[in-house]
Structure 1
């Protein structure tokens, strides 16, 4: 399976209100390409290599920096895990339908589909200093027989819970 490593979220992630103020660069206190233990990926049956790099620059100075992982044997979901200079508050301001918020290890998290027609794609954003850690899950049922029956936001939430213990308190 090919993960959507170079694709932007399906909807403009900037808030609908006045021009946003955000950091010029992504947070650097946690490196999603190197700081997530291999055991997290092994438990999810994801390829343990941390390639390809998944960097994206969007209009207005929005940035994502991280890596993508694919399901072993190519028959399940793919994920990009990237730092972004978008904050949880900016994501919340988009009022995505069905967005859920919760706290994990003391950090605010928002999980949402970016549009109703793409329920096989979900983003979870975990608050970091100067932005957030974005976990994008791509799990189309027709190309993901091993995981396509699992809602993409359920997978994203599971990844949040597994990744949070490795995120430093000061990140």
Structure 2
């Protein structure tokens, strides 16, 4: 199994969240060189799913219930990573709490399973296969990603929850992500 990695989309989200107490220093990087054409056979879709736009399709009621506000002025968390990996979405932050990027990505569940190994857990969220992984070797308790299956990739929730955050710093980061994912995933269109 390849070494756990934290990809550029997460790094892009971390840059916007740095003012919120997060950092991406010491994060792992992609291992091995996978080309886009070869990656398709290993679970990387050609492009991100287009059936859901996290920036506009995550209901305001969900964001309000989690007390999430825009993480940065333009709120974008789009990135093109190495070897054809792509993310499209937005980021939010809870005052004195966790920060999250919610993005569609062309990484499929099999791709995540193959490339990440820190505390990987497979489960179902709203009837969809999902996988959680702590993609940081140096900040494993603070950073968690949850990928939920969609046609042509996954919906990814990447949380950054440093222990210094007064509201959420003592709560398990993956647990926070699962609570949020359980509110958002049912809003995915049928067949997405």
Tell me whether the two structures share a fold, i.e. TM-score over 0.5: yes
How does 1:34-53 map onto structure 2 within 5 Å?
34-47=56-69, 51-53=74-76
The structure where helix makes up a greater share of residues is: 2
Kindly state the Cα deviation for residue 115 of structure 1 after the two structures are TM-superposed. 3.0
Change (3 A) 1:5 1:134: farther
How does 1:20-35 map onto structure 2 within 5 Å?
20-21=39-40, 22-35=44-57
Does the 8 A contact of 1:113 with 1:121 survive in 2? yes
- Structure 2, unmatched stretches of 5+, are 1-12, 17-23
How does 1:3-82 map onto structure 2 within 5 Å?
4=14, 10-12=27-29, 19-21=38-40, 22-47=44-69, 51-72=74-95, 75-82=96-103
Q: CA–CA distance in 2 between the matches of 1:167 and 1:15? A: 33
- Structure 1, unmatched stretches of 5+, are none
Any idea what SS the aligned residue of 2:155 has? strand
User: Normalized against structure 2, the TM-score is what?
Assistant: 0.77
Does the 8 A contact of 1:4 with 1:79 survive in 2? no
The Cα RMSD (Å) is 2.6
Change (3 A) 1:53 1:13: same
Runs of 4+ in structure 1 off by over 6 angstroms are: 14-18
